Every structure is written in C-alpha cells, then in structure tokens.
Structure 1
C-alpha cells in the first residue's frame, strides 16, 4: 500500500478553506466562509469580520442593499440555528428568535425569518415583529418580505402549497420530495416552482398567484432541473425582474440552459465544469466557479457581456498545482438491464484490477457529482480505486429512476452496488477479492448491510453515522425526522406494509453474526438525525453476536464530521482498518478494540 506524504494527508483531511463565497449586490466585494484549524471565520475582501470557532456556519448571504451580511450558525453538530447580522465594519448581532431559524430572506436592510414555524421581520436596531399567525413547514415570502403563504405537510407525506390563502397545489408523497419554491417575480403576481408532479422529470413551473394557473417554463426530457452542492436550486433569475433566465441540469456534468436568452457559454477544459453562483444587482458581474476533479475548484468574476474574467480564490489553496488523479465516468448495466451512471477514481499511474472501495452516497435520494472528492483522493493516495454509483433512487435522473428506489432499502438499491462491483471485475478494473464499502448516513447503512449479508463479496465496511435498525427508524422516528416521517417511511417501505419482521430482515442490527465482514463505525455524539445511542446499541449487539466491529465515538461532532482534529483521528483509523482488512487477510488479523472514544 502506498504511503501518503504528510502534506497531502493534511490537505485532504482539512475542510475546504474557502466556502460559501458570495458576491455583494454592487458586484464590488466578495464575502467568504474561511475554515481554519480553530473553526469558521467570516472574511470580506481578505479582511476578517468574525470568528465563529466551535460553530457550524451556513447560508452566508448579503442584505439586499449590501448594508450587512447574514448567516446561520449553530454549535457544531447540533443544528440549532441562530441568525446573525454582521456589518462590513465588523459589528455583529444575533437576531432574536424563539427557536432555531429554519430559513430567511432579505429586502433592503430588512430580514424575514422563520423560527418555530412562525414568520418574523427584523430591521437593524429593532426587535423582530411577528408578521403572521399562520404556521407552515416552509414559508412563501415575496421580494418585499410580505408573507404570501407556505407549505403544509400532510399526514401521508404529501404537501399543500398555500398562496394568498388558497391551496394552489396539492402533491402526494411521491412528488413532495422534488418540490421547491424558487421565488416570486418582481411584481409578486407569479411564483416559480420546481416539481416533478405528473411529469417524467423535475421541471420549472410558473404559477399565477391569483388564479392558480400554471405552465411549464423549462423541462429536460431525461434529466431533472437541479442544483449543485455549492450552488442554489438550479434556477437563476434576472436580478432586475425576478424572471428565471437560466436553468441547470446535471448528468455526468452540469449543463446550463438559457431561457429566452442565449445559453451561457464558458471556456472550459476537458476535465472541468463551470457553474454560476451569484450575480450583481445590475447583472454586470457574475460569480462563477470552475470545478475540477483533479484539483481545487476556482472562483472567478465574469463580465457576461464581454467574457472578461478575473480570478478570485481557490477552495483548497494547499493543493494548487499538485498532480492528482481524476474522476472518470462510470456506466454500469445492472442485472435487470437498468443503466446506472457514476464515477471511478484510480490511483495515478496504475493498471489492471485494483483493491476497490465503493463510496456510497447518502440521502438515499442524494447523488454523486463530478467534483473534487477529497475522500476519493485520500482512498486513491492509499493505493485503492473508488467507485461512486448513482444507484436507483438517486436524484437528477428523472421521476421513474428516483421512484424506483422506494421500498428498496436493502433491496434493488443494494443490488445496484453489487452489480457495479461485478461489472468492474468483468472489465478488469476491480479485484473482486478485495472490495470494501464505505459511506455516511444511508451510505453507512448500505456498507453495514453488505458486511452482514455479503461477506463473500465485501472484505470490510466503514460507516459514518449509519441508521442500523429500520424497524426502530420506522416505529420510533427520531425527533429530527418527525416532520418528514411519512416521506421517510415512504422511501423505506414503498408500498410494503410496515411489517417489523420484513424491516428487521433488511436491518444490519438484526443480521449480525460471527461470519460478518469486519466493520468500522464512527458516530458523532451530537448527531440529531441518527442518535448516537443507535450506533452504541448496534456495537453492543455485535459484541453479543461475536461480529467483528470497531467503534469510534466523536464527542464533538454531529451527523457530519467537520473539524480537522476529528478527521485526523477518523481517517488514521480508516487507513489502519483498510490496511488490515483490504490489503492483508482479515481472518488472521488481531481483533480491533470494540470502542474507542475521541473527546
């Protein structure tokens, strides 16, 4: 196994240095979240404005008039969000809110925000005013911050969209997960929506508020309109009119589509993609990002009329100029003939079959993207190939493909991963005797299930924050998921009744045996989505069943592992684990400790 040089190791384990990049309304300044070893910092044009160490920071945005920045913060891992107003001079205040802030909007120097299902509007130096007695799961707010309605979840997992007091759209559980509100036109008469209701793909709709009439603004025949992890929902509106003028789909690469205007064209290389992130109020300056799979992503300012470009910054400056492997496109024919798409990364300068780590994305209605994948780079630096499969149920590839995952936790979705391994072996890329699964959340569930049920195929499994017991998840949904419990149950069960025996038959917790492949589980003690008690119950059950398990509890983390310190501990353990179980014969290896606690 290849040894990673320490500089590369540190750069891959560190979080992205620059994230959340935002262009000021006048196009003259750029704000960014800079992540240091101590934690996040808010920086404006290279000037430190605020240090938010031991916090998670998200949703950095400008006030519409450029007078301040707003962002949400929460004690790392807790997801109990506060709203912070930060002036360019550095003065900061927490906007008073009775509960976690779920969403917010700006107009002028004011901000509207939803906390505890209630909508408030605040201006600098004033206590927030409650502007509506209604309660919604998600609010509908126009460009003047007027409450116009919202989304009400239904007991069956569907939703009602209420606009100006009338239900204008009723969606069942099959369609609610693809629904999103883009925003209002400047005159407030039209609201733009994303939905796959009664359509083969997720499309952009315009809904007339007064009548409820709707029409399709844009639809792709095969792909959904969707965003990208560092961007918005995949629709951009003219900042002067609020009318959508650019949409995005994501197949193997993101693609922009002009609506009533020429499709934006950027000069891109063969192994990169260009994304649009932000636009100035007069639309004379665009913030774009150039994405690569073999190096840092690069933020640039572009003048759309002339094409003139000014480089800004990169997300991982410590890796600039370094030769690294790339993601190659992966196409797999599943056992039942369905075509699956994804990516593969091989270590530099390698040929022939390789030990392989299947990195399973979460969601499960997430997906893998063409991007710089630090975890895949780390795996490649260890000498392993990685596969990234958009198994059925993944988003972006149309309604039928997404719905094909309902009820297939542990079923067809799992088999898609196994089929990708078999296809890679047939192509001479995968060493079928040296395969591991690794994933977080749903991906962790899939990894553990493979270890428990297919030790003939999988040598070992690594799981971050995995749900381990579907019967418990359906029968006693954690508080975090209860507002969306019906939707979650639909994903897990499909049309199958909630039969405990059937659920246990697809749950790693109830499939443990001494024959299971070795498992490494890491879990954040602050995780609100999958409580850490579930992981510890799994570890205790594995001990009783004499199943080989190593457990790493990360006391300062939540559902995601975010700090450099925790990542160093975790990935050192992964490196040792894969060395023992994927390179050497795991049957002769000394047993690992059952529990390790990282304070």
Structure 2
C-alpha cells in the first residue's frame, strides 16, 4: 500500500487548517499527469514511426505506418519491466533500453539493459544486461549470457545494419569506472570491444563517418578532461586542459574529421561556440554572445552536424551556423511557422524527406509533429499533455533588475491576470541546482498550478545559476546561504516595489536547492514571507558530506568543497536547521522516503529542529517517491495539498 503521512503538529491549532475556500481535488490533474507519448522516432526509410506511449501507466511503444498513422506493431510493458528509451537500428528492428519498476519505488530504475525487437513486437532478443533475460516482456524473448555491466547506446551505426555501438561499464568497479565502447550484434548479442576509455566516467563522441574520435570524462579533482584519436591512430591524445577544464561540451566533427566543434569558455566569460583543429590544437571562436551563455546547440537529427545555436537572454533566440545543411532550411521554416516556440529535432529518414520534431513554449506544453521537406506539409502527431488547454495557462514574461550590489539579475513572471496592474498574492518559486541550472521561458507545471489559484509566480535566476557566464556561476560558490538568498529576497522586494506583489501575501517555494532556499530565505527575512513550501530539500549542509549520492561519486566531495566549502562554522551558519529561531512562517515540509540525492535524513533533521523551536509546520512524506514526484497520482495529491496550504496562508 502506498502510504502518505501528513501530520499537523501542535503550535498551530487544527482548526487553522480548516480551509475557508475549497479546492476541487481534480483541479490540477491535467497539469499533474505524465505525458502519454514520451518520444517519437521515424525509421530510416521513413515508412514507420515508433512512438513511446504509456500503456496502463507503464512505458511501452507502438509502431505506426508513417503514411496512414495506423498501428502496425509495438511492445507492451510487463508488470515490472518497461521501455526507458528506444531507437531504430534498421528499418525492421529497434533497440530498447529497459527500465525496472519496483513495488517499493515509483521512479523507474535503469540498469543498462538492452533488448532488440522487430517493429511488430516479434523476435525479441535480450542483447545486453546483468540478467540472462528481463522479466517477461513477450512470449518469445531469447535470453543471453549475463554481463555484469551497464550498457547504453552510443550510435545505431547506420553504416552497419547488424551491429550497434554500446557504451559499457563494469558494475563491480568502484565509482568512476573506465567505460568501453563495444559493438553488439542486434540478433546474436555477440560483443566486441572497440575501444577502452582513457579517463573515468567517459562519454564517447563520433565523427560524421561513425568513428569514435573523442572521450570526455571527469577526474577525481572534479576537472573535465578530454582525449581524442587521429583517424589513423589507435592511441588517445589529451586535449589542452585549459580548453576542456570548464564546461567543455563537445558537439560534432567537421566532414573531414580534422576539427571538432564545441561549446566552451576558451578564455572568455560566456560559453561560446568554437572550433578546434585536433592536430594543431588551435581554437577558432565562431560565436560568443556578450550577455549570456549559449543554451544549446541544435544538431541535425542524426546528431552529426551542428546547424544552429540557441541563446536565452530572456526569450529563446536562434542563430543558424550551418546554412548549407538541408535541415537548416527546415529549421528556419519551422521557427517562422511556430513563432515564439522552441524546436527540437528528434529523428529523420535517411533521405531527409521526413522529419520528426517537437515544438514547445512557456504557454504550451508542446506537441510532436512530422514534417515533409518535399511538400512542406506539417502533420501534428500527438500533444505532449493533451488534457492541458493552452487557453487555461497564464502568461509568462521576462524581467530584469539590478541588485543592491549592482549585479544584474534576470527572471520570469507567471501572471494569471496580466491585464491587472494591481498587486496580487505571489509565490517566489526558486529553482534547484543551484549551479548548472537556471529558469527559462518554458512551460513549468508548478508555476502554472500556482497561477491557476490566482497568484502571480516569480522565478529569479540568482547568482550561481548557469547561463550568464562563468563569473556569475562562480559568484554563487560558497554563497548558498548568503548572497544567493539575498538575490531571492531582493527579487521579491522588487516585485513589491513595482506593485506586482501584495507585500502581505507572499510565500516562498522550491524543490531540492529551491527547498533549502525557501527555508533559509524565510529565516533571513522572516517578515517577508507568509509561508514556506519545501520539497525534497537539503537543510543541513554538513550532512551533505556523509549522506546522499553526491559523496558516493568519486569526485563528489571535491565538488562539495567547491560549491559549499568545508569550513564547519560556515556550513553551520548557512544551514537552515540552525537558524529556525528566527523563522515566523509556517512550513510545508515535503519529502520522498526513497530520495537518494537529498535523503530523508535531511527532512528529519529539519522536522526535529522545527519541533525544538515550536515552529508551525506540516510533515508530508511519500513512502515510494524519490527526488521529486514520479507517480501521476502522487503528483496530483502534491499539487492539491500545496494549493490548500497556499490558499490558507495567502
């Protein structure tokens, strides 16, 4: 039985939680639901489409005729084994990454198991994994010799119709494994090692001809290192670590395989687009924005050519960098057709005539489409969240302001009453991370849930967030409980000064680091916030060195030294569990008992401290959830409980 423990402690009379305004329990079911279709891939010849689909709440796939969209095959999940990912290997056969769902855990667990299957669901072969075969998915699955390794698809090797390239790691090795690249036969399961990585935890990158040319990993000092191979040589050669050390993101090789395109700093403050000659080590800067990092590179649907860049100073902007590629023209056409949307290419046919893409925006959860380059016809395949009506979603706009020390900060405002210029109740919604993460102008379930209650939602990219340059991210190191919180507080005060928020009706909410911030900011500025919602957070920074999955990673403690430091007095000062004597707002403390990133011990520590200081709070634990909500039903209940708590306090 899935148990929820919701406890109202003393210090608040039970009658205080008899909410004056009732909220329908089904008010947020559309926002809380999982996407019924989670991926779409077209076969190499363009004749079939594989669609990742939920079947009775579990992940399977169906195949459709690309012309008629009629079902021609597929695979239903078993009681415990589901489809995590899938890719076409040939026109008739797919490679499936399998996930396992345990009775005691809502999140799908992935152990690197691979299965090959024909499009109609027949000829199932378990080709890689730690078991001789998975729990039954079909009646004719062939079992293979077990391998004590994890496997993940690197490339479907279109140049070879019988094998796929798989990245493997030994399960038995300690953290920081040396990966291998192996060719795996999609019929027999036979394997052959192609290359071994020269660095722990490496990812492999291929040139346009499908040859492994690059391996990128992280060393024990939390430094990124990269090794490349010349076309004719077997040995690995390390790239200059001044290039690869900070946020080096390999993209694609040029057609000759002599140069690599990548995102990196290369001596600049902003993440830019560069090209390095592998033989000489000479780097050419192609594009760097003066204000923000490049958000992402848009690759061709085969993943082997960079065609465009996206930057997000406020709203998404796109820059074509390879106008000769046929998909560049397609991208231009789609960006014009879907003005204001983000476009993501998912797959294409080998002749590039048919392309599958996804279009999303801040006020549209998005849809999957098929584009025909010959006819220019666009066919909508599936809505990602079909129950969500775009007309019911609140407007989202960008803003910026200068903090008290002159730092320019950016954020987003979700406004259910954009035409109303009067102050409204507001929730400051803090993103997680804090490093390597930022808020974008994109669809946000929680922001839209809060806006549906009639409240404005403020999201701020505080210092330490990614996207605004290396120095901006670095300025948040060891400032978790200080300058970052000051940014969150000043953004909230900015909203009051600009008559966006009612100063007497503001709450603060967040998940993971956002939960930490919600509690910490409410202790620093106790009269600013009427309530606190903290989901899956860390509340004792010293505990992060002993509990959770970060210390288990071989570079984890080195990362913690950079991010939060190891000064005991400083960690104690910046830990909310030690600052609750200043807290005035009631806290809604929400956690998953199976959380490995922020273990339940963190929530227990905060609950104990709240009790010690006689602070009002609600304790809400989901026994089967981890770092977030993975069950639709649990997410629905979470939205409902949060809505009631906010409504009571706002």
Into which bin does the TM-score normalised by the smaller protein fall? 0.7 to 0.9
Distance apart, 1:149 and its partner CA? 5.1
Structure-2 change in CA distance of 1:499 and 1:8 (3 Å)? same
- Quick one: which of 411, 418, 423 aligns to 2:494? 423
1:176-228 deviation digits (Å, cap 9, x = unpaired): 5622222445654443322223123212333344444433344333332223x
Structure-2 change in CA distance of 1:342 and 1:22 (3 Å)? farther
After superposition, residues 112-123 of structure 1 pair within 5 angstroms as: 112-116=166-170, 117=177, 118-119=179-180, 120-123=182-185
Match of 1:157 in 2: 222
SS of 2:392 mapped into structure 1: coil
1:101-152 deviation digits (Å, cap 9, x = unpaired): 4663321341312324332331212243344454531232425765545234
Decide whether the 8 Å contact of 1:19 with 1:32 is kept in 2.
Answer: yes
Q: Confirm or deny that 1:443 pairs with 2:475.
A: no
Match of 1:70 in 2: 96
Q: Which is worse superposed, 255-264 or 527-536?
A: 255-264
After superposition, residues 38-49 of structure 1 pair within 5 angstroms as: 38-45=57-64, 48-49=74-75
Decide whether the 8 Å contact of 1:105 with 1:112 is kept in 2.
Answer: yes
Structure-2 change in CA distance of 1:196 and 1:481 (3 Å)? farther
Q: Which is worse superposed, 94-103 or 347-356?
A: 94-103
- Give the whole-Å Cα distance in 1 for the aligned partners of 2:403 and 2:524: 19
- Give the whole-Å Cα distance in 1 for the aligned partners of 2:364 and 2:538: 33
Match of 2:577 in 1: 509
Distance apart, 1:418 and its partner CA? 1.0
Decide whether the 8 Å contact of 1:268 with 1:274 is kept in 2.
Answer: no
Structure-2 change in CA distance of 1:504 and 1:56 (3 Å)? farther
After superposition, residues 140-179 of structure 1 pair within 5 angstroms as: 140-142=204-206, 147-148=212-213, 150-164=215-229, 165-171=236-242, 176=245, 178-179=247-248
- Give the whole-Å Cα distance in 2 for the aligned partners of 1:178 and 1:121: 29
Match of 1:251 in 2: 313
Structure-2 change in CA distance of 1:271 and 1:219 (3 Å)? closer
SS of 2:605 mapped into structure 1: helix
Decide whether the 8 Å contact of 1:405 with 1:491 is kept in 2.
Answer: no
Match of 2:12 in 1: none
- Give the whole-Å Cα distance in 2 for the aligned partners of 1:268 and 1:463: 40
Decide whether the 8 Å contact of 1:530 with 1:559 is kept in 2.
Answer: yes
- Give the whole-Å Cα distance in 1 for the aligned partners of 2:56 and 2:535: 22
Decide whether the 8 Å contact of 1:409 with 1:506 is kept in 2.
Answer: yes
SS of 1:291 mapped into structure 2: strand
1:530-588 deviation digits (Å, cap 9, x = unpaired): 222222232223222323332222222221211112112222221222123x22xxxxx
SS of 1:221 mapped into structure 2: coil
Distance apart, 1:457 and its partner CA? 1.1
Q: Confirm or deny that 1:137 pairs with 2:186.
A: no
Structure 2 alignment gaps of length 5 or more? 1-19, 65-70, 130-146, 171-176, 230-235
Q: Which is worse superposed, 433-442 or 527-536?
A: 527-536
Structure-2 change in CA distance of 1:286 and 1:447 (3 Å)? same
Decide whether the 8 Å contact of 2:306 with 2:322 is kept in 1.
Answer: no
Structure-2 change in CA distance of 1:29 and 1:207 (3 Å)? farther
- Give the whole-Å Cα distance in 2 for the aligned partners of 1:217 and 1:27: 34
Structure-2 change in CA distance of 1:568 and 1:181 (3 Å)? same
SS of 1:226 mapped into structure 2: strand
SS of 1:267 mapped into structure 2: helix
Structure 1 alignment gaps of length 5 or more? 228-233, 584-599
Match of 2:603 in 1: 535
- Give the whole-Å Cα distance in 2 for the aligned partners of 1:101 and 1:492: 31
SS of 2:87 mapped into structure 1: strand
TM-score for the superposition, normalised by structure 2: 0.79
- Give the whole-Å Cα distance in 2 for the aligned partners of 1:385 and 1:37: 35
Q: Confirm or deny that 1:333 pairs with 2:402.
A: yes
Distance apart, 1:356 and its partner CA? 0.9
Match of 1:18 in 2: 37
Decide whether the 8 Å contact of 1:525 with 1:531 is kept in 2.
Answer: yes
Match of 1:50 in 2: 76
Number of residue equivalences = 570
Structure-2 change in CA distance of 1:490 and 1:250 (3 Å)? farther
Match of 1:104 in 2: 154
- Give the whole-Å Cα distance in 1 for the aligned partners of 2:390 and 2:254: 43
Q: Confirm or deny that 1:283 pairs with 2:352.
A: yes
- Give the ranges of 4+ consecutive aligned residues of structure 1 lying more than 6 Å apart after TM superposition: 52-56
1:51-100 deviation digits (Å, cap 9, x = unpaired): 26667865543337673143353544375433333531224454225244
Structure-2 change in CA distance of 1:202 and 1:131 (3 Å)? same
1:467-498 deviation digits (Å, cap 9, x = unpaired): 111122146663566234256325523xxx52
- Quick one: which of 373, 380, 384 aligns to 1:315? 384
Distance apart, 1:295 and its partner CA? 3.4
- Quick one: which of 349, 352, 356 aligns to 2:422? 352
- Give the whole-Å Cα distance in 2 for the aligned partners of 1:458 and 1:465: 20
Match of 1:224 in 2: 293
TM-score for the superposition, normalised by structure 1: 0.85
Match of 1:89 in 2: 120
Distance apart, 1:507 and its partner CA? 1.0
Cα RMSD after superposing both structures = 3.1
Greater relative contact order (Cα 8 A, min sep 6): structure 1 or 2?
2
1:414-441 deviation digits (Å, cap 9, x = unpaired): 2111111111111111012221111111
Distance apart, 1:7 and its partner CA? 5.7
Q: Which is worse superposed, 550-559 or 129-138?
A: 129-138
Distance apart, 1:387 and its partner CA? 0.9
Match of 2:6 in 1: none
Decide whether the 8 Å contact of 1:442 with 1:466 is kept in 2.
Answer: yes
Decide whether the 8 Å contact of 2:535 with 2:591 is kept in 1.
Answer: yes
SS of 1:40 mapped into structure 2: strand
Distance apart, 1:11 and its partner CA? 0.6
Match of 1:549 in 2: 617
